Structure 1
Amino acid sequence: MTNLPYTHADLHAEAARQPATLTEDPDFMGIGEQMDGHLIPSTDDGLGGMSWDGLPDEHFNDAQRKIDDLIGGAADVSAWAVQLGVDGLQPEDHTLSVDSDGRPLVRLHVAFVLPRARRRGVAVGHARPRPGPHRRPLTP
């Protein structure tokens, strides 16, 4: 037993609370400051690209407002992210989704302890429908 006035669970809760507060009321000016000097991903050809602050003011301001809206509408996954780190898991970029009418109904985000080279195979291998009593085999 420890003499500390807090538990590991208290540390996890606080670590999750802090990034969550950033999405509740994002700092609009801070968003613009974070954009300065960073490349726009779609313009990065590996040798460089255009940075956000290289945009004309009206395009920069429009992007800043849209990013503010995206942050404000983001799901709070802070506790999940902290627990992944505690467990030594690394999130995978690929997701498994079930869509209907072009909209997601379910989306699974996964995390692994496996080496990166084996992760995609696991996710893709489990995502393929397999014949069973309730499914017909896929035809090419």
Structure 2
Amino acid sequence: MTDQPYTDTDLRAEAARQHATLAEDPDFMGVGEQMEDASVESTDDGDSSLTWTELLVPQGAGASHEAFGEAQRKIHDLINGAADVSDWAVNLGADGLEPHGRAIDLGDRRVRIHFAFAADMSDDDRADLISQLAAFVTHGLT
């Protein structure tokens, strides 16, 4: 409990509300500006990677600007269509948890389980927990 007239829950609720508002209507041009120098995940080989500009607008290929614009539109649409997970995001951060990239899909993508772990939890322990849970859930569905 704080010595203020508000609670920690009030702070989290306001942070989640503002988070949702920030993500609600992304600036289309801002999406492109953020893409320019950002690495494209699939091109990262551990030593280097390509940026969106390097991948889609190589030197002297003016027509490729269309490919960058198409990717920009698709990313903008994904942001606009995203589920509001602001409350989850704020609470995970406040609890000191880190989102993990792996998820378990059940059925035809009607249910998905995402994971977040404490920073001091080892990669092996994370993988083991996910594998055990996946086996348990899969067994329960059969």
TM-score for both structures, normalised by structure 1:
0.79
Pairing 1:117–2:124 present = yes
Seen in structure 2, the aligned counterparts of structure 1 residues 37 and 17 have a Cα distance that, compared at 3 Å, is same
Give the percent of matched residue pairs that are identical in Structure 1 and Structure 2: 50
**How many residue pairs end up in the alignment?**
131
User: Per-residue deviation at 1:60?
Assistant: 0.8
Determine whether 1:67 maps to 2:72: no
Letter of the aligned partner of 2:127 in structure 1?
Answer: R
| 105-114 or 21-30: bigger deviation | 105-114
Specify the SS of the correspondent of 1:104. coil
Q: Are 1:82 and 2:82 matched, yes or no?
A: no
Distance 1:109 1:2 in 2: 31
The two structures, once aligned, show a CA RMSD in angstroms of 2.5
**Does the 8 Å CA contact 2:37/2:52 hold for their aligned counterparts?**
yes
Residue 105 of structure 1 pairs with residue 110 of structure 2: yes
Paired residue for 1:44? 44
TM-score (norm 2): 0.78
Structure 2 CA distance for partners of 1:119 and 1:104, relative to 1, 3 Å: same
Q: Distance in 2 between matches of 1:135 and 1:111?
A: 23
- AA partner of residue 17 (structure 1): R
Unaligned 5+ segments in structure 2 are: 58-63
Q: Quick check: which one's helix share is greater?
A: 2
SS in 2 for 1:71: helix
Higher-Rg structure is 1
Rounded to whole Å, the distance in 2 between the matches of 1:47 and 1:126 is 33
Give the structure 2 partner of residue 13 of structure 1: 13
Query: In 1, distance between residues paired with 2:3 and 2:32?
Result: 44
Q: Deviations over 1:90-119 (max 9, x none)?
A: 2222212212xxx31211112233333201
Structure 1 alignment gaps of length 5 or more: none
SS in structure 2 of the partner of residue 22 of structure 1: helix
